[in-house]
Structure 1
Amino acid sequence: MVLFLLYSYLKNYTCMFEFNAHLDADYINEIYGGDLSIVQIMFSSFLEESIPVWNEMYDKIVSKNYAEVGRLAHQIKPSFSMVGLTFLHPKIQAFETFAKSGPAQGELLTQYQQIAVDVNHAKLVIEEDLKRMEDYV
């Protein structure tokens, strides 16, 4: 009984962390059950794996390797939702579809740059919340 009460308290304690307003906190808490240690792993993984792939897409656009751009967009698309950036998922989906359609280089680059504004801001938000989580736990 004591362990159950302690677990309940700790579980509620981890859910008290306030995520940045740009993140879908309800979604994060739902999929990770309020476990900040898992959220930290996912945030770190997003920064270490997904952001470099996003940046790599620029070079693929410049070299007109649109099939690879589409493949890379598809590869990282789920990671945006997994860190609470649910608003970016449909933008990445549309970008992936557009890249696979064989667009003009300028059009694809323009769309990439527009989304990059959101991705770069999201990266800062994830970095800040990751730091706050490390200080919190």
Structure 2
Amino acid sequence: MIFTYFIPSSNEVIINELLFNPKPDGVDFIEVYNKATLPVDLSKINLARRSDEGAIESKKQLSEFNKMLSPGVFLAISTDTAKTKLDYPAATYDQFLQIPILPSYNDDVGTVVLLFGDTIIDEFNYNEKCILD
């Protein structure tokens, strides 16, 4: 089987949503969106965070296998997709992806980094003041 994908440039695959301070029994999740016109191989995509000093750390690969994210698709990434769906039943996502571990994101402030290999394709700075009730 042959997979065709492209190397996304900045802001073609983006961080669309982040739950960094879940309910006490909940889990973090990150939603990404493929704005590009071609599929992206998730085995080449990594999530990470920035340290207080600005270094990229805690890099986690989204898939060990070739798994394509089609153009125009939202993907919710979590360590427990069943829990995420249960906690947010009204949410609509095109796809869910469960991975063994996410980077650890602080509950008050931080930066999520999305990389293609080692190249940054999107970053999202968050803080507890940006939480919508």
Which protein is richer in helix relative to its size?
1
Instruction: Report the TM-score when normalising by structure 1.
Output: 0.29
Q: Which has the higher strand share?
A: 2
Larger Rg: 1
TM-score (norm 2): 0.29
